[in-house]
């Protein structure tokens, strides 16, 4: 059954009954801390100085569902900051399998995506989109390709579909190549990629995160297309093509992590 919302504590005496049991990887400005009321078993989220109701049915069921997602592969263990793999290994809450995970392969380019609902944040959902090359260069017809533009189709229940177009993704124009992507002035023209990573080949998927806002119904889908150039935009080796971003769901889940 759907979990009921609880009212967060507002007084010192109530706060003293709260026991922290889980926190986000980043304990800086955007930290997220989970608390359990030791008297009632209710679970809450504390972000900064504000408590926000977290639908829950006690710590035991919260942990059972969390363990189920780990065991079934919905949650994966990987570097949470690809530029710092040795110091950021952890549990990623973006679904890597199951009904909340989207995947599509076209022309040898794989695009996957999923989102996380953020009850503590005004944006609503954080989504993660990743892309990589699959197969061989002979099968694809090119050794590398570069993202040029995107077209998002956001459908909120009860409202007309919204189409959003733009160049690149959050200022990046990733150049995909076997085993990873290439970091240079063409793929990162604004020098945004941080962490002291050297230029050149970056192993693994190209991943980026952004947010999708709340709506009246709090239900919808997010999909679209990505335009790729074989070779690079400056040195194309064929005609550009589009790769589909299969829609993933935007909704308020029963459990929040």
Q: Residue 118: CA atoms inside 13 Å, Cβ hemisphere, count?
A: 20
For the segment 234-245, the average pLDDT, to the nearest whole number, is 97
Determine the pLDDT at residue 199: 86
For the segment 42-48, the average pLDDT, to the nearest whole number, is 65
Please answer whether residues 147 and 131 qualify as being in contact, where contact means their C-beta atoms are separated by less than 8 angstroms. yes
Residues 6+ apart with CB under 8 A from 237: 142, 230, 231
Residues 6+ apart with CB under 8 A from 60: 41
CATH of domain 99-250: 2.60.40.1470
Determine the pLDDT at residue 7: 44
Binned at pLDDT 50, 70 and 90, residue 254 comes out as confident
- Tens-place pLDDT, residues 144-160: 999 999 999 999 999 99
Q: What is the pTM of this model?
A: 0.84
**Residue spans in the chain of domains classed CATH 2.60.40.1470:** 99-250
Determine the pLDDT at residue 5: 39
Q: Is 72 or 1 the better-scoring residue by pLDDT?
A: 72
Query: Is 53 a residue whose pLDDT tops 60?
Result: no
For the segment 211-239, the average pLDDT, to the nearest whole number, is 96
Determine the pLDDT at residue 3: 37
Please answer whether residues 213 and 222 qualify as being in contact, where contact means their C-beta atoms are separated by less than 8 angstroms. no
User: Average pLDDT, whole number, for the chain?
Assistant: 86
- Tens-place pLDDT, residues 95-144: 999 999 999 999 999 999 999 998 878 888 999 999 999 999 999 999 99
Determine the pLDDT at residue 27: 63
């Amino acid at each position: 059954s759907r979990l009921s919302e609880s009212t967060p504590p507002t007084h010192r005496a109530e706060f003293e009954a709260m026991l922290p049991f889980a926190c986000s990887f980043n304990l800086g400005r955007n930290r997220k801390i989970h608390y359990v009321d030791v008297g009632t078993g209710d679970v809450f989220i504390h972000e900064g100085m504000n408590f926000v109701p977290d639908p829950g049915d006690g710590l035991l069921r919260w942990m059972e569902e969390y363990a189920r997602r780990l065991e079934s592969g919905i949650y994966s263990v990987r570097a949470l900051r690809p530029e710092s793999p040795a110091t950021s290994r952890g549990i990623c809450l973006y679904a890597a399998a199951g009904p909340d995970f989207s995947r599509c392969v076209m022309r040898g380019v794989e695009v996957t995506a999923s989102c996380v609902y953020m009850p503590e944040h005004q944006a609503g959902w954080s989504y993660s989109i990743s892309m990589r090359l699959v197969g061989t260069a002979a099968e694809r017809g090119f050794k590398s390709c570069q993202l040029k533009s995107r077209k998002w189709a956001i459908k909120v229940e009860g409202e007309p579909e919204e189409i959003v177009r733009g160049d690149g993704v959050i200022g990046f124009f990733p150049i995909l190549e076997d085993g990873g992507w290439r970091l240079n002035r063409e793929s990162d023209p604004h020098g945004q990629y941080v962490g002291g990573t050297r230029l050149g080949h970056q192993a693994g998927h190209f991943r980026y995160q952004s947010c999708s806002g709340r709506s009246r119904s709090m239900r919808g889908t997010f999909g679209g297309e990505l335009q790729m150039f074989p070779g690079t935009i400056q040195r194309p080796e064929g005609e550009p093509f589009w790769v589909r971003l299969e829609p993933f769901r935007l909704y308020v889940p029963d459990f929040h992590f």
